[in-house]
């Protein structure tokens, strides 16, 4: 899968402002709104929030991957946000999350969502790449680190 299709420079934030899980989720949905691919912002936020209530998407190593499915999008879309100070996201390792990758896909399709998560996990599993993402000063740098 080409990560550049769902994740674009416009859907990357180097400085998320939120200080709570809810604020981060809302801010990330707003990033996705900028892509022009969302028909109903509230439906997307509800899908992401409902998914998060079932089980936290805070992983480990400072990464959270909030995601949801809704027919308010026609194709898989993604955003990446950085909150250097970190936010408690209920991560598996108990540490705050500072790199957030949000995906939203149509209810009717599962393949692209799983493919995207597998592809983006590869670079994010590398501590050096995570450090470079957190140190990035330009959105283009982040995109290049993830897509190679």
Domain boundaries, the chain: 9-147
| The pLDDT value given to residue 115 | 83
Taking only the tens place, the pLDDT of each residue in 51-63 is 999 988 899 999 9
Q: Which of 129, 116, 112 minimizes the C-alpha distance to 61?
A: 129
pLDDT the model gives residue 102: 95
Helix (H, G, I), strand (E, B) or coil at 7: coil
- Domain 9-147: assigned CATH number: 3.40.930.10
Q: What is the mean pLDDT of residues 29-42?
A: 92
Average pLDDT value for residue range 96-109:
92
Beta bridge partners of 64: 58, 100
For 62-94, how does the pLDDT look when each residue is reduced to its tens digit (9 = 90+)?
999 999 999 999 989 999 999 999 999 999 899
Cβ atoms 122, 52 nearer than 8 A: no
- Residue 114: pLDDT band (50, 70, 90) is confident
Tokens of 67: 């995601």
- Residue pLDDT, tens place only, 3-27: 567 889 999 999 999 999 999 999 9
- CB 65, CB 24: distance < 8 Å: no
Cα(86)–Cα(97) distance, integer angstroms: 5
* Alpha carbon distance 64, 42 (integer Å): 21
Q: What is the pLDDT of residue 133?
A: 97
Closest CA to 31 of 14, 46, 43, 19: 14
What confidence score (pLDDT) does residue 117 get? 83
């Amino acid at each position: 899968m080409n990560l550049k299709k769902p994740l674009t420079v416009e859907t990357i934030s180097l400085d998320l402002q939120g200080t709570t899980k809810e604020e981060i989720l809302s801010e990330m949905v707003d990033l996705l709104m900028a892509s022009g691919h969302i028909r109903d912002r509230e439906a997307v936020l509800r899908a992401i929030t409902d998914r998060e209530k079932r089980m936290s998407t805070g992983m480990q190593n400072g990464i959270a991957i909030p995601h949801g499915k809704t027919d308010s999008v026609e194709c898989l879309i993604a955003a990446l946000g950085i909150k250097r100070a970190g936010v408690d996201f209920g991560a598996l390792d108990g540490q705050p999350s500072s790199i957030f990758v949000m995906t939203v896909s149509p209810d009717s399709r599962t393949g692209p969502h799983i493919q995207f998560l597998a592809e983006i996990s590869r670079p994010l599993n590398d501590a050096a790449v995570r450090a470079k993402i957190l140190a990035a000063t330009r959105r283009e740098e982040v995109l290049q680190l993830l897509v190679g």
